[in-house]
Chains A and B, each alone.
Chain A
Amino acid sequence: MELHNLELAYFIAPLAISGISAALAALVSVTDRIVNNYGDAVININDGSKSLDVKGGTNMLLTLAENQIFIPSACGGRGSCGECKVKVKSDVGPHLPTEIPYLTREQIDGNVRLSCQVKIKSDVDIEIPDYLFKIKQYTGTVERIRDVTHDIKEVYLKLEDGQAVDFRAGQYGQIETPPYGKVRERTQRAYSMSSRPSDSNHAEFLIRLVPGGIVTTYVHEHLKEGEKIKIIAPFGEFYVRDTDATMICVAGGSGMAPFKSIFYDFIEKGRMNERDIWYFFGARTRKDLFYLDELQQMQDEYERFHFIAALSEPQPEDNWTGETGLITEVLDRYLKNEISPDKPKEGYLCGSPGMLDACMDVMRSNEMAEDRIYFDKFA
């Protein structure tokens, strides 16, 4: 009899365990459906100035983009640029560890969140700047790609019929490239527009090849004339303030882009001689310089426009007779010795975070007011 019970237990125990496991799996599955089915939700923007009926379950950045509201995001929602900040007025849970490095204490206290890290689970109230409503997605056909240096391409896009981008000279757009090679998803990166605002059915970008860069590699190695790509624009606070202060502009490499847009916009509007403009452009060798002739021509034509190109490592074959040294060193020399200290100055910078920091140091040490130095720190 005992043996019979043992045999019975031998068969029943695994069945019982299997049954319990199956029940637990079913419970997890049902719970997952209930817990993760967030259903419909309402995003209330700027105290009711706009209201969106959305499906819950996706992050706020993507949900807003699906509804044609584009929050700036240099990394395309990967949580690595810290750009997509939104003030959230509802309780959406505590800040995630992935958000903290990008937020100041003040922003955390004010419940500013990275919209790519916040999942829409229920109705939510948010506050965003009004200018974001102007940002739109465009499709452009590559009309021309031109090498302006060995590692910078000028990409000129024709927007689809009827589309026109309304932007201020100096602002930037986000270019989206498709999956290619081992890159399995669409990728977005931010680049300043070099086109004139008046040429609104086109958009032009200067794109420098970044070793290992996903979008720049695509543009340099795969993008062809006739191909369609998406851009989202305009973004940014980098545009000329309407004052008569002397403009001190500094760039290197593809940082030329917003200044090309600004200067040609000034010329079109007859404003080139309204104020003093000093444009400092740094490169390593002569082959890294571009648009030299047209900038030189601008300087000849407009007496208040001064173009200072500097090479940090001129080669013997360059026969360079212009300024030498890092652009920060040249800027420092001019601020001390050449540019009138009596007139108020505004700084306009375009470059990498490191370049901007170095230029800021020079400008501050030459008594330029920090709140009058403008840039978009996205590289």
Chain B
Amino acid sequence: MKMSPEFTKAQANMQPGKITADGFLGDDSRPIVDIIADDEAEMQTLGVDFDAAVARMRYLMAEGRKGLEEPVTVDGNWIVRVSEARGFLPSPFEDGIFRKVNAQVELAPGGVRSGETILYSELGLHLLEKYHFLQGRGAPFRLEPGQLRKVLQL
């Protein structure tokens, strides 16, 4: 699929050492439009709606922040730990800056840890919501559609 100049610039900004030390693409050499198209197809196959996923992730991050860095049990179904560092990260699409907030969400039915986790940042949520970009395979903050569905219970 053809890349627009905006996406070409974003892909350059996603390389390691540009915005974050390890970048947004991992080992994935595909153009980001192809990463997005493939993930959109997989999300559709799995029946996971992007907006529903983002809404739940925002809710869990907001609840997790109340723990002041300590893990919090949310609705008896997830254990959420939100970590926050000073400063901001710019979006690789150059459309905003985001606080350095990470949420680790573990599925924990009845408060019992399952070992099934997802990890996302405030910037990652923006990329997911606006661009349907789940990051490249092997990237530290890559969100796998199947794992999203399992952990978020969608």
Cross-interface CB contact of B68 among A75, A282, A288, cutoff 8 Å: A282
The 7 closest A-B pairs by CB, nearest first: A81-B87, A355-B68, A352-B84, A211-B104, A284-B70, A379-B85, A210-B83
Given A355-B68, A379-B85, A313–B73 Cβ distance below 8 Å? Answer: yes
A288 to B69, CA, bound (A): 12
If A182-B16, A210-B83 touch, does A252 touch B88 (CB 8 Å cutoff)?
A: no
Cβ of A327 under 8 Å from chain B:
yes
Contact A326–B66 (Cβ < 8 Å): yes
A371 at the B interface (CB under 8 A): no
Check B68–A358 contact: CB distance below 8 A. yes
Within 8 A of B (CB), among A153-193: 182-185, 187
Can you report 27 residue pairs joining A to B where beta carbons are below 8 Å apart? A75-B87, A78-B19, A81-B85, A82-B88, A83-B86, A98-B90, A182-B16, A182-B22, A182-B140, A183-B21, A184-B17, A185-B17, A185-B21, A210-B85, A210-B102, A212-B141, A213-B83, A253-B69, A253-B70, A282-B68, A284-B67, A326-B66, A328-B68, A352-B68, A355-B68, A358-B68, A379-B83
Q: How far is the CA of A101 from the CA of B84 in the complex (A)?
A: 17
Residues on B facing A (Cβ under 8 Å): 16-17, 19-23, 26, 65-73, 81-90, 97, 99-100, 102, 104, 119, 121, 138, 140-141
Which residues A311-344 have CB closer than 8 A to chain B? 312-313, 326-328
A233 interface hit (Cβ, 8 Å): no
The residue among B19, B20, B26 with the most chain A CB atoms within 10 A of its own CB is B20
Residue of A whose beta carbon sits closest to that of B102 = A212
Per the bound structure, the CA–CA distance linking A312 and B22 in Å amounts to 34
CB-CB under 8 A for A326 and B68, given A74-B87, A214-B22: yes
CB contacts under 8 Å to B, within A344-371, are 351-355, 358
Write out the residue numbers on chain A whose beta carbons fall within 8 Å of the beta carbon of B141: 212
A379 neighbours in B (Cβ, 8 Å): 83-86
Q: Given contacts A212-B119, A351-B69, is CB(A74)–CB(B86) below 8 Å?
A: yes
Given A80-B90, A353-B85, output 10 extra A-B contacts at Cβ < 8 Å.
Answer: A182-B16, A185-B16, A210-B102, A312-B72, A326-B67, A328-B68, A351-B69, A352-B84, A378-B85, A379-B83
The distance from the CB of A213 to the nearest CB of chain B, in whole angstroms, is: 7
- The answer to whether B138 and A327 touch across the interface, beta carbons within 8 angstroms, is no
Q: Which residues from chain A contact B99 at a C-beta distance below 8 Å?
A: 353
Q: Do B86 and A377 have beta carbons less than 8 Å apart?
A: yes
Number of interface residues of A (CB under 8 A): 40
- Expressed in whole angstroms, the minimum distance between the Cβ of B57 and any Cβ of chain A is 14
By secondary structure, the A interface counts as loop
Query: In the complex, how many angstroms separate the beta carbon of B136 from the nearest chain A beta carbon?
Result: 11
Are A313 and B21 touching (Cβ within 8 A)? no
Contact B88 A101 (CB under 8 A): yes
CA distance A185 to B18 in the complex (A): 11
Contacts of B19 in A (CB 8 A): 78, 80
Q: Which residues of B contact A183 (CB under 8 A)?
A: 16, 21-22
Q: Is A247 an interface residue (CB 8 A)?
A: no
Measured CB to CB, the closest approach of chain B to A7, in angstroms, equals: 38
Q: A211-B104, A313-B72 are in contact. Are A378 and B16 (CB under 8 A)?
A: no
Asked if A74 and B70 sit within 8 Å, CB to CB, the answer is no
Complex CA gap A313/B67 in Å reads 10
Question: Chain A contacts of B140 at CB under 8 A?
Answer: 182, 212
Q: Which residue of A lies closest to B17 (CB)?
A: A185
CB distance from A80 to the nearest CB of B (A): 5
Residues of A within 8 A of B88 (CB): 80, 82, 101-102
Q: Are B70 and A101 in contact (CB under 8 A)?
A: no
Asked if B67 and A312 sit within 8 Å, CB to CB, the answer is yes
Proximity string of chain A (52-89) to chain B, C-beta cutoff 8 Å, 1 when within and 0 when not: 00000000000000000000001100101111000000
Q: Please, which residues of chain B bring their CB within 8 A of the CB of A75?
A: 87
Closest Cβ neighbor of B67 among chain A residues: A312
The answer, yes or no, to whether A283 is at the interface (CB within 8 Å) is: yes
Return chain A residues, CB-CB under 8 Å to B119.
211-212
- Report B-chain residues with C-beta under 8 Å of the C-beta of A82: 86-88
Distance in angstroms from B61 CB to nearest chain A CB is: 11
Does B81 lie within 8 Å of A211, measured CB to CB?
A: yes
B73 neighbours in A (Cβ, 8 Å): 313
* Structural contact, A184 and B66, CB atoms closer than 8 A: no
| Residue pair B69, A252 in contact (C-beta under 8 Å) | yes
- What's the least CB distance linking A273 to chain B, in Å? 30
On chain A, the residues within 8 Å of B121 by CB distance are 212
